Amino acid sequence: MIQYIIRRVLYAFPLLLGVNILTFVLFFVVNSPEDMARMQLGHKHVTEQAVENWKQQRGYHLPLLWNAEAGGAGKVTETIFFQKSAGLFWFDFGISDSDRRNIGADIKQRMWPSLAVALPTLVLGLITNICVALLMVLFRRSYLEFGGIVLCVVLMSVSSLFYIIGGQFFIGKVLKLVPISGYDGGLQALKFIVLPIVIGVLSGIGSGARWYRTLFLEEVEKDYVRTARAKGLSETQVLFRHVLKNAMIPILTGVVVVLPLLFMGSLIMESFFSIPGLGSYTIDAINSQDFAIVRSMVFLGSVLYIFGLLLTDISYTLVDPRVRLS
């Protein structure tokens, strides 16, 4: 087991290196730091000196891959690749382009609000979807199931933006139950995160419940379920004791892979509800064209995803005794 985990962690390195090279090519080779400086400073009426200064202040004045002027190890380390891209490996995110803040500190501070919204959304959404799907399977081949399927397709066809706008309008503005948007520290945050969580759960029901329903239906057809029924177990007992337990394997592994990514938060949710999490941080960075932050978030996202894959493999062995890691 431990051997397997070590091997997987080692395998993560080439993947991260690939991500790193990809972002490096995207951000520094396709567009030179010169272009970025001009983009930030505006295209017209900008002097060479201003561009140089901008690059100097942010450390973009170095050569890309090989510094011939420096001596010794400096030939490799005094370059943009080493300082800006390789630094990501030890989570040294550097400073942001627009206001030169420390990105690492910002991330540490902003990931908690993201988690406060994303984690309850995931858990409640999971419970709701499973309940709805189980109900549909329990009443299969009836009008109730048919209505459920139709409702799922309809819910799926509504853009998530409309869920948010509609929720803010009806719950926040017309009924005035909760504030429309904003955030506060401590327990005060509760009243601000309720609406995003409710909307997040609602908007996921359509596709989630439909997907779980197919998983349950596949399980219901199997032999052991028929045996359980033949033993004289009631339909609910069969569903909860046997079908649910066995269908949990694909469900759980699907959930585990996104667990680490919860820290990244949801881009749209957070910007609509102005929650100061990593999602809105990313959006702000995209809008102000802050390449340093976008680069850091791309790398962080990949690390978390690869970590999620590792967790998935481990959880397989925990929930399904048939799987042996080798």
Partner 1 sequence: MVVLWTDALIFVLLIGMIVLSVYMLRNPRMTRPLRQIGTSKTGMVSLTVLLFFVAVGLLDSMHFHSKDSNEIVSVLDQWLSPIRLHGEKTYSAPFAAHLFGKELMVLEDGGPVWAYPRLQYGGAHLDDPESELFYDVLMKASFGFIKSAIPAAIVLVLLVQKFRHRQNALISQASAKAVAWTIFWIVTLCATLLELSSYYHVLGTDKVGEDVLYQAIKSIRTGLVIGTLTTLIMLPLAIVFGILAGFFRGWVDDTIQYLYTTLNSIPSVLLIAASILVVQVYMAKNEEQFTSLIVRADMRLLFLCIILGVTSWTGLCRMLRAETLKLREMEYVQAASALGVRRRIILFRHILPNVMHIVLISVVLDFSSLVLAEAVLSYINIGVDPTTHSWGNMINGARLEMAREPVVWWSLTASFLFMFTLVLAANLFADSVRDAFDPRRMG
Residue numbers at the binding site for partner 1 (CB under 8 A): 14-15, 18-19, 22-23, 26-27, 30-31, 35-36, 38-39, 43, 153-154, 156-162, 165, 168-169, 173, 261, 264, 267-268, 271, 282-283, 286-287, 289, 291, 294-295, 297-298, 301-302, 305-306, 309
Q: Which is nearer to partner 1, 143 or 187 (CB)?
A: 143
CB of 260 to partner 1, least distance (A): 11
Q: Are 205 and 129 in contact (CB under 8 A)?
A: yes
Contacts (Cβ under 8 Å, ≥6 apart) of 36: 27, 60, 97, 291
Question: Cα 76 to the chain's mean position, in Å?
Answer: 34
At 205, is the secondary structure helix, strand, or coil?
helix
Q: Which is nearer to partner 1, 49 or 287 (CB)?
A: 287
Contacts (Cβ under 8 Å, ≥6 apart) of 37: 51, 54, 55, 60
Tell the residue number behind the tokens 């690059």, with chain if given: 55
Q: Are 111 and 260 in contact (CB under 8 A)?
A: no
CB of 120 to partner 1, least distance (A): 21
Q: Which is nearer to partner 1, 43 or 322 (CB)?
A: 43
CB of 91 to partner 1, least distance (A): 16
Q: Which is nearer to partner 1, 26 or 314 (CB)?
A: 26
Dist. CA 121–CA 126, nearest whole Å: 8
CB of 323 to partner 1, least distance (A): 17
CB of 232 to partner 1, least distance (A): 28
As separate numbers, helices (DSSP H) first and strands (DSSP E) second, the chain gives: 15, 0
Q: Which is nearer to partner 1, 64 or 286 (CB)?
A: 286
